[in-house]
Structure 1
Amino acid sequence: MSKKTLSSNELKAIHSLELEALTVIDQICRRHSIKYTLIDGSLLGAIRHNGFIPWDDDVDIAMLRDDLEKFKLICKTELPSKYFYQDMSTDPEYLYLFDKIRINNTLFKESYLAEYNINHGVFIDIFPVDNVSDNKKEAKKQFNSFIFLRHMFMAKYLSVKARKGKKKIIAGLIKYLIPNNTKKIRNKAFDIMCKYDKEKTKNVRIFPGPYVKKNVYCRKFFDEVEDHKFENHNFLISKYYEQMLVNDYGNWRELPPKDQRVTRHDLVDFKL
C-alpha cells in the first residue's frame, strides 16, 4: 500500500473539521456534566501551542469509564447526523478497545484498517479510563494480562500487509496459525480493562492508549478538569496536565527534531 502524504492545506482542513467535531463533543459533555480531558498530542498541543500541534492529524480525549458509558448513551439521541459514534456495537468490524467519533462523508483510511468495511472518516479518538487495583500484585497481573492479549489482538486484527520486516512475519504467523477468534481475544482484553471498574480505586489507566506502559494516573487527574484555550475555543484539560505531560513525554517543552515533525497515521486514502 502506498502512503498518502498530507499537504499543509489538507492538514489545516482536517484540523478545522476536527475542531468542529470537538466543539460538538464538548457541548454534549457540558450539557450533561460529563468530564473529559484532552490527552496525548492534543493536551501537548493545548499547553505548548494553544491549539493543534502543527503536524498532528487527530484529536485525543479521555473519560472515566462511567462518563464514557453515559456519553455513549446520550450520543444515540444528541449526536448530529453529520457524525458517527464508532465502537464494536455500531460498526461490527471495528474492534479497537477505544471509541471514535467519525465525520461522515470524509475519508481518512489508515493502512492497518484499510481491509475492513468500516466508517473510515476523519475522527476524534475517545479513550476509556479504567480502574487499576490498589493491590500492586493484582495491578501488575492486570497489566501483564492485558498487554499479552493486546499484542495478540493487534497481530491478528491489523493488516499484515501494512507491516514491515520482522513485525510482518510475526504478525503473519500469529494471524494464521493461532486459532483464537479475534473478537474473542478482543473481548477478553476488554474484560481485563474493566476488571476493577466496580471498585473506587486510587489509580486509573488508559489501557488502549499509546503510552500504556507509562500511564498509570491518580484518579483526580480525570476528576478535576478546567478550561484551557485550544485554537479559538475553550476545552477541558486535567488540572494536573503538567504531571501528565511529564509522565508521557518527559521534557515536553522541547520541540522534536524537524525530521520527526510528521503525521503519525499511515494513510492510503484521503478525501474531505
Structure 2
Amino acid sequence: MFKSNRYDDETLKHLQEVQIEIFKYFTKVCEENDITYFMYAGSLLGTIRHEGFIPWDDDIDVIMFREDFEKLNAVFEKEIDDKYNFFNVLNEKTYHYTWGRLTLKDTLFKEWWADQVDYTPNIFLDIFILDNIPDNKYKWFIQKWKSFALNQMTIYSLIKYRNESRLKEIIQQMAYYFLKILPVSSTTIKRKCVESFSKYKDEKCERVCDFPSEFLMPVSNRSDWVPAKKAKFEGLEVSIPNNYDKILTMDFNDYMQLPPEESRFNPAPEEIDFGE
C-alpha cells in the first residue's frame, strides 16, 4: 500500500487561499467573455453543503460546455495574465489530462507523476468539459467506448502508472510499454481523443457527459445545467447547475451526509511550494 501524505492545517488553508485567487481570475475572464461555467464535483458539493470548500478539500473543480471551453481556450491563446498558464490536452505535449487546467506560475504541486512530464506542475484550477452525446443508442455506444479507450491511451502513452493493486499496476504498465512501441505518437492519440469526445458538438443534443468521469458521473441533460443558478462559495457568488440536486445525487448519493471522520482528508502531494 502507498502511504498518503497528509496536509497540516496551515498548509491546507494557504493552498485554499491561493486557489481562490486563481478562481477569481478565472471567473473574471468568464464574465468578461460571456463564458458560462458551473461549480463541479467536490467544489459543487462544498458550495451546497458548506458554502465554500469542503473543509478537507484541496482543489477547485469547475465544468463548462464544450463550446464555452473552446471560447475560453481562444481567449487564453490570445491573452493571459503573466502569472498563469493554461493547459489543455493539445497545447502541451506531455500534459496527460483530457480536461483543462489553469495554473499559477512559480508554484509547485508535485504529484507522483511529475518527473515524467516536461512542465512544472503548479497549483491549479481544473476545468472539466461537458460534451454532447447522441440520442441514438448505437451511436452513443460507439462514442462512449471509443472515447473511453482513447482517454486511457492518452494517459498511458505518457505516464507509467503506479497502483496500490499490483495486478492493476502490471496491466497499466504493460499498456504504457505497448503504446511506446506503436508507430503512433501521443499527440495523434490526443487529437483522436478530442475528436471522439466532441464528435457531436455541432449537433443539437439534449444529453451531455464529462467523458473522463463518465463511469463515475452518469449522463445528464443539458437542462440539468442551464439556466445556471447562483450560490455562495467562500463569500463569492458562483454559478451552479440548474438541477444541482440531481447532479450531486448522481455523484455522491446522500450528499448532505458527512463521510466518516477517518475519511475526511485528501492526500497531499509529494511536494508543495507557494513561491512568492
Deviation at 1:157, TM superposition (A): 2.7
Q: Does 1:202 align with 2:206?
A: yes
Q: Does 1:19 align with 2:20?
A: yes
Q: Give aligned pairs, total.
A: 270
Deviation at 1:175, TM superposition (A): 1.2
What SS class does the counterpart of residue 258 from structure 2 fall into?
coil
1:63–1:222 Cα contact (<8 Å) kept: no
2:90–2:190 Cα contact (<8 Å) kept: no
**Partner residue of 1:42?**
43
Deviation at 1:124, TM superposition (A): 0.3
2:249–2:255 Cα contact (<8 Å) kept: yes
* Within-5 A mapping of 1:44-193: 44-161=45-162, 164-178=165-179, 179-180=181-182, 181-193=185-197
The structure-2 alpha-carbon separation of the partners of 1:11 and 1:213, relative to structure 1 and needing over 3 Å to count, comes to closer
What SS class does the counterpart of residue 80 from structure 1 fall into?
coil
Deviates more, 1:121-130 or 1:150-159: 150-159
**Partner residue of 2:224?**
221
Using the alignment, how far apart are the partners of 1:237 and 1:59 within structure 2?
13
Question: Residue 227 of structure 2 aligns to which amino acid in structure 1?
Answer: E
What SS class does the counterpart of residue 177 from structure 2 fall into?
helix
The structure-2 alpha-carbon separation of the partners of 1:213 and 1:138, relative to structure 1 and needing over 3 Å to count, comes to farther
Using the alignment, how far apart are the partners of 1:90 and 1:146 within structure 2?
19
**Partner residue of 1:234?**
237
Give the TM-score taking structure 2 as reference length.
0.90
Using the alignment, how far apart are the partners of 2:129 and 2:273 within structure 1?
28
Q: Does 1:251 align with 2:258?
A: no
Using the alignment, how far apart are the partners of 2:104 and 2:27 within structure 1?
16
**Partner residue of 2:273?**
271
Deviates more, 1:165-174 or 1:213-222: 213-222
Question: Residue 254 of structure 1 aligns to which amino acid in structure 2?
Answer: Q
Deviates more, 1:220-229 or 1:254-263: 220-229
Give the TM-score taking structure 1 as reference length.
0.92
Question: Residue 52 of structure 1 aligns to which amino acid in structure 2?
Answer: F
2:89–2:99 Cα contact (<8 Å) kept: no
Question: Residue 188 of structure 1 aligns to which amino acid in structure 2?
Answer: K
Deviation string 1:130-172 (CA, Å, 9 cap, x unpaired) is: 1001112211221122222333333343333466511211112
Using the alignment, how far apart are the partners of 1:176 and 1:23 within structure 2?
41
Deviates more, 1:120-129 or 1:255-264: 255-264
2:94–2:158 Cα contact (<8 Å) kept: no
Deviation at 1:188, TM superposition (A): 2.2
Unaligned 5+ runs, structure 1: none
Q: Does 1:7 align with 2:11?
A: no
Using the alignment, how far apart are the partners of 1:184 and 1:32 within structure 2?
31
Question: Residue 195 of structure 1 aligns to which amino acid in structure 2?
Answer: K
**Partner residue of 1:260?**
263
Deviates more, 1:147-156 or 1:226-235: 147-156
1:3–1:268 Cα contact (<8 Å) kept: no
Deviates more, 1:255-264 or 1:55-64: 255-264
Using the alignment, how far apart are the partners of 1:2 and 1:184 within structure 2?
35
The structure-2 alpha-carbon separation of the partners of 1:91 and 1:150, relative to structure 1 and needing over 3 Å to count, comes to closer
Question: Residue 28 of structure 1 aligns to which amino acid in structure 2?
Answer: V
Question: Residue 74 of structure 2 aligns to which amino acid in structure 1?
Answer: L
Question: Residue 11 of structure 1 aligns to which amino acid in structure 2?
Answer: L
Unaligned 5+ runs, structure 2: none
1:134–1:203 Cα contact (<8 Å) kept: yes
Indicate the percent of aligned positions where both proteins have the same amino acid.
Answer: 28
Deviation at 1:57, TM superposition (A): 0.9
